[in-house]
A and B are shown apart, each in its own frame.
Chain A
């Protein structure tokens, strides 16, 4: 049997779209993966040497960067935020589309060149700082893990940077999308050392994903 491969999958938004892709490359999770009551964190698949772990999106990148998992699926928002040198993102899976955007109170003007400093609540401090630095604005980021949308209302920060798909949450909190920072889609990510050391299996698996995505697009 080949050496085991650990595949990291994010909880939440991308998961439902990722499963059909996995099925197309011949990876089907064991039954307990779908059991909502299961507390297990590692799941077998129909391929005896491939296991799945289901973790938070940000942790998918960390597990793969450190080689604890060889492959993973994660949004490009997370890849950009960490900018891990040990991650490859060789396939755009074309799923999990949304955008990373700057939002502020409805009716307010977007931060302009006149300002040198801005306070932003976000889950993406590195990306946010980088983007604002590109505009010549020093961004002071307040790291939140969720519910960014209430930050402006409560005076925590004037703006937020967060994922937007339909924009409904923003509207419900009296916020407006002001600038798109990046278009986000899910990527197949691969650990750099695993890609080289296991050159017989890992690149082949990447190629299978590439074809599965091509087939889906066709």
Chain B
């Protein structure tokens, strides 16, 4: 009886040579583009104490893949997100480093549960964080770095969707108070559930559902809606961030979007690419807790390029640069081929076949000939 092939746990998988190579090419291109803007790469560990990964947030802690460390007998968790680790580095090892501090990273993260749209529980996260400021200038820089990185990796055409994470607070604590819990109001606005908004007595917020879509129109709608002027500073800031990138990407605005923006302070954005049902990245301004009662502001973004790599991003035809070396070939010549960026596949016995081993070329008496 033959044994059934071993299964991997749900949501985890192997990457074979073509895909593994594509993933590292994409990572390289993204990280190089960030480094070109002065972002230094850091590499935090795969696992940490639960507290430093989950912070005080109960929901974040619950979504960690945890286990007990036999050494410290404390609970460890696999990292579900590198941003938080970079925040920890910035406020500990690099607490004394001059601000603004520019850091970038690339690595695997693991989620306890997959999302409805993405069955993967392990994924590649690549991103950059600008620590010490969440000003308009900082936001402008981080959006530009994100677009440069996407371009360098050949990702596009890109749609950037802006959001204003504190818009509901500004309105509810100002001109448009509501009876219900503000969190419920946020949830209904996030789901764009017009019926529910009316039901919870927040019909005054309905125009916000219309102030979404193409950037200029949505900004105009938002301005018209904001008769009290509490959003004026936010709207001006968004226009300033949008100005330098208008011609490079499609811009949209969705002021009440909350998906994945639990930590953002005043500004956030998501990156969409055609053919992908979920955002391929997101970013924005946020605060890193420092000690008991202080925080440091930051802006940053993260990209999750796996679905794009699965769709062929970064793939190259290896056979084109793969050359078969028959028995008795000249080792010096083979070494010079490798120095020339060829991948050499040496025969171990007479039966080895160039085509079967994925080689588009073979080394003949006078040099490479097509296999």
Contact = CB atoms under 8 A, between A and B. Distances in A.
Q: Do A and B come from one complex?
A: yes
Interface of A: 65-67, 76, 79, 84-92, 183, 185, 187, 190-193, 195-197, 199-200, 203-204, 207, 210
A6 to B, nearest CB: 13
Nearest to A185: B195
Nearest to A82: B116
Contacts of B270: 196
A193 B195 contact: no
Interface string B342-360: 0000000000000000000
B92 interface: no
A191 B191 contact: no
Contacts of A89: 191-196
Interface string B100-115: 0000000000000001
Contacts of B194: 89-92, 210
Given A67-B277, A86-B277, 9 more contacts: A76-B196, A85-B259, A88-B191, A89-B193, A90-B209, A197-B159, A199-B250, A203-B213, A210-B194
Nearest to B188: A89
For the residues of A in contact with B, the DSSP-based class is mixed
Interface of B: 115-117, 159, 161, 191-196, 198-199, 209-210, 212-214, 250, 252, 254, 259, 270, 272-274, 276-279
A91 B197 CA distance: 11
5 contacts: A87-B191, A92-B198, A191-B277, A193-B272, A199-B250
A207 B212 CA distance: 11
A141 B274 CA distance: 39
A79 B273 CA distance: 26
A218 to B, nearest CB: 16
Given A90-B194, A199-B213, A199-B214, A85 B115 contact: yes
A187 B161 contact: no
A207 B213 CA distance: 11
A214 to B, nearest CB: 11
Of residues B196, B213, B274, which shows the largest number of chain A Cβ atoms within 10 Å of its Cβ? B213
Contact of B195 (A87, A92, A200): A92
A193 B277 contact: yes
A197 B279 CA distance: 10
Nearest to B260: A85
B278 A207 contact: no
Nearest to B213: A203
Contacts of B159: 196-197, 199
Nearest to A92: B195
Contacts of A87: 191
Contacts of A79: 191, 193
